[in-house]
Chains A and B, each alone.
Chain A
Amino acid sequence: MDFLTRHRSIVALISFSLFCIISLSVQGGGFTLTFEGVMSAIVTPFSKGYNAISNGIGGLFSGFEATDTLRENLRKAEAKLQKYESMQIEIIQAELSEVRTENEKLRVLLGFKERVRYNSIASQIVSKDPDNWFRTLIINKGANDGVSVNMPVIAYQNGQKIVVGKIVEVRGSISRVQPVIAPDIRLGVKLQESKIPGLISGYSYNSDFCVVSYISRATPVKKGDVIVTSGQAGVFPPELLVGTVERTELSETNPYQKIIVKPYIDYSLLEEVFILLKNPDKDFFEMFGEVQ
């Protein structure tokens, strides 16, 4: 006992180190998850509170600035409304309906599957990963709102659906989103033009780029080519925008080329996301033994 007291620093160092090493070795075990749950439950209300206060203060100041902009926008909107009212709306609607019907007929003729529409829930980012090594986002919707693991998360930009990431952890009122720039995410994508499929993941820790792997060296790829989801991995619906090609990297030893992609989403500016209420395709996951 006297030895322990005299050498308490060394004893503590060994004990703490052993705890960490054992925990790292058995990661994913029940204790780890429960412990993290308790810690999250303690810290999350503070994060939410901070977020609410900072949003409130920011909103107050921006509210003053926004009044003038709002008045100007209102004036423009009124002018636009008058212009549109003067147009023959019925004719436009009839033309639109005709095009839609024709599109559906063509889809049937080409044997395309009917597009499935998924419900979505809007959610706010309340916090981001506190460390530079990981890039996850914490959102204010959780199991209580019907969110579950592996649901796709998207954002809207200029009316287009853009991939943000997928849900990797769900608690009562919050969830953790793994963004597409994280090195440990894997997402089925394809080149929009040539339809060549590949697998996208984050380029590295703390980088804002992604990398598409398993694209043959022979495939022509140029800067600006659009990358979309393939829908083949069972998590994301097809044809959601991911990013554009920045450059390609070739190495002597690799039969594939690496395509560096710049995502459409700027993660430092992202505030609001939408969770698609789509559960992963069960058959696909069972095939790879990922469903317990």
Chain B
Amino acid sequence: MILPYIFTALLTAVALILQGADIIAIAGKKPDLVFIIVVYIGYSFGSFNGQLAGFIGGLFHDSISRSPLGLLTLPKVVLGFMAGMIGRGVVKNTVIAIMLLLFVASLLKGILTLFLAYIFHQALLVSVIQVIIPEALYNAVIAPPLFFIFDRIFHGELERGGFL
């Protein structure tokens, strides 16, 4: 039972380390791998697990980033919850559906982050073009292969929970 949590923690740690390096950046833009994991967990294991992954992953993300604690966490919590509400029952596990799910979720996450940054930190509207849209596109493109890998990692748990 504890194994999925350990796998999620490991995946999050690897995602953060990769995001800290420049190898996954294209034209200076990086995907949000932690967010993809959060959406996957919500999408596969329900709202509670999605937002829990969002909360823990977001706290780690905030802690090693320059962002104030909570700025990157709250959007992940909310979108983890929403991905759980949609789930595998509504969005089928096809490449197009996953790409669309990640694109929309990333856009919403970006807008929420911008809104929080506007209230609590510092926000520039140009971020929509420079950060939010490129990141959403990047997340959408790499999500299907990542979801495929995650399906293999969590295969046992998905079968036990009757999610497959």
Contacts and interface: CB of A to CB of B under 8 A. Distances in A.
Contact of B127 (A28, A128, A205): A205
Contacts of A21: 70, 74
A132 B124 CA distance: 13
A36 B81 CA distance: 24
A130 B16 contact: yes
A134 B61 CA distance: 12
Contacts of A133: 65, 67, 71-72, 113, 117, 127, 131
Interface string B23-58: 101001110101000000000001110011011001
Contact of B51 (A12, A51, A184, A205): A12
B71 A24 contact: yes
Interface string A125-152: 0011111111010100000000000000
A129 B65 contact: yes
Contact of B25 (A184, A208, A268): A268
A46 to B, nearest CB: 5
Given A9-B48, A13-B81, A20-B70, A132 B64 contact: no
28 contacts: A9-B46, A9-B48, A12-B51, A12-B52, A16-B54, A19-B55, A20-B77, A21-B70, A24-B119, A32-B68, A39-B64, A43-B13, A43-B17, A127-B20, A128-B21, A130-B16, A131-B30, A132-B29, A132-B131, A132-B134, A133-B65, A168-B66, A178-B66, A182-B66, A183-B122, A205-B126, A206-B130, A207-B130
Which 3 pairs from chain A and chain B are nearest by CB? A39-B63, A20-B70, A130-B19
Given A20-B71, A27-B120, A35-B59, 17 more contacts: A8-B48, A9-B46, A9-B84, A16-B55, A20-B69, A32-B68, A36-B69, A39-B60, A127-B17, A127-B21, A130-B30, A131-B32, A132-B32, A134-B65, A169-B66, A204-B130, A205-B131
Interface of B: 13, 16-17, 19-23, 25, 28-30, 32, 34, 46-48, 51-52, 54-55, 58-74, 77-78, 81, 84, 113, 116-117, 119-122, 124, 126-127, 130-131, 134-135
